Structure 1
């Protein structure tokens, strides 16, 4: 569930009539206007929020962000943030992806507070002045050893895959495998039933072709009994 804005406005206008904010997992407030660096309506009530986008909202710091313990991805590009990142570790302890591109970050030292974000895997600093420093990439990877990707590439310059796609793909694969096994078992049962019926029909047909039926069997028994009776009648005569 997400919201977006095409013209500057206060963010709380986007959900003033929306109930159950605790069920929202994705929130997009790009191009909304902030009030003295604070987004009105964005509170700790969004307890299940996992993705938050605040692109070009006029933020000069992250001090007023609410505590969102489940937030994993934060988009803060095209703002005017120049420091004060220590608040992120306190308020967003489980952050894994952080986009700070297009901000006013100039020195490697301003990134040092991010060391406390143990789960941070991806950091984007495109179009920040800090990227112009010598040995920028080596310095950032050394400062933040928990990082896997910086500006979309790992320490060996390999491009980052779409992590969301990979997770969903694995889930779908597992679901398909389970479904396939279940489907095969059902087909097997159906095939056994069909084969059994065909065998029974074939057996009946063979008996018909051989001229064997229940009435013939009864007649054969009667004939045997009659022969045995005749034999008993003749046996005394043979003794005489």
Structure 2
């Protein structure tokens, strides 16, 4: 896909002035030059042209707000003076994987007063003796060269980003707050579950107590029934004893009557 068509697709029905970031990696440049990019992109802050076959950046429009430019894996060998002219507020420049051979080709970058970070990985210039010392001396405004400062301290992630990091930080903070809220909700749910479990256990204990009371009542009823049975047995025995005594008395009375008859 050529660069013009890619730019049209990247707009997605937006106007160029609405675009802050534009990524055109791996599309085709015509004759090694930038095409389709105009000064209408007045608010563009990040532009990426990785591996698009660039030989020259002479066709760059003036982009006053551009801060980060990715030009790695192209065939640029010079002509960097246009960068200071067209991109006065550039802070991050990646030229790794290009055809830069001499320190002198970097001299036009002296005019980029705000340049903080420069990447030249896999460029022949990095093979020169005292390469790092020479570049830092040539470009005193630089803080990082190839990701490290003059004391060989690695750049932090925030130093590698464009302005607007605060927005990302706010989003991260909001995400953390949401996570915290989710965590609190989860803890609350867990507490509710624990309370439910406790209630269930208490309910089971109550059921056990109730069943125990029922058993006691049943036992009491059984005991009372047994006592009543015993009383009935005693009454029957007494009744039988009474009958026996009556029979004995009747028999004795009969004997006495017989005796009386004999005396007569």
Q: TM-score, normalised by structure 1?
A: 0.65
- How is 1:133-172 mapped onto 2 (pairs within 5 angstroms)? 133-163=128-158, 164=161, 167-168=165-166, 172=170
Shift of 1:160: 0.2
Contact 2:34–2:57 (CA<8 Å) still a contact in 1? no
Q: Secondary structure at the match of 2:39?
A: coil
Shift of 1:41: 1.5
What's the counterpart of residue 61 of structure 1? 56
* 1:33/1:169 CA distance change after superposition, 3 Å: closer
Count, aligned residues? 168
Contact 2:39–2:61 (CA<8 Å) still a contact in 1? yes
- How is 1:120-199 mapped onto 2 (pairs within 5 angstroms)? 120-163=115-158, 164=161, 167-168=165-166, 172=170
Decide which structure has greater helix share.
Answer: 2
Shift of 1:62: 1.1
What's the counterpart of residue 114 of structure 1? 109
4+ residue runs over 2 A deviation: 16-19, 37-40, 164-173
RMSD: 2.3
Once the two structures are superposed, what CA deviation does each residue of 1:69-121 show, in whole Å capped at 9, x if it has no partner?
10000000000000110000000000000000000000000000000000000
Once the two structures are superposed, what CA deviation does each residue of 1:114-162 show, in whole Å capped at 9, x if it has no partner?
0000000000000000000000000000000000000000000000011
Q: Which runs of 5+ in 2 are unaligned?
A: 178-264
* 1:162/1:128 CA distance change after superposition, 3 Å: same
Q: Secondary structure at the match of 2:136?
A: helix
Out of 28, 32, 36, the residue aligned to residue 33 of structure 1 is 28
Q: TM-score, normalised by structure 2?
A: 0.60
For 1:109 and 1:57, the matched residues in 2 are separated by 25
For 1:170 and 1:98, the matched residues in 2 are separated by 21
For 1:26 and 1:170, the matched residues in 2 are separated by 14
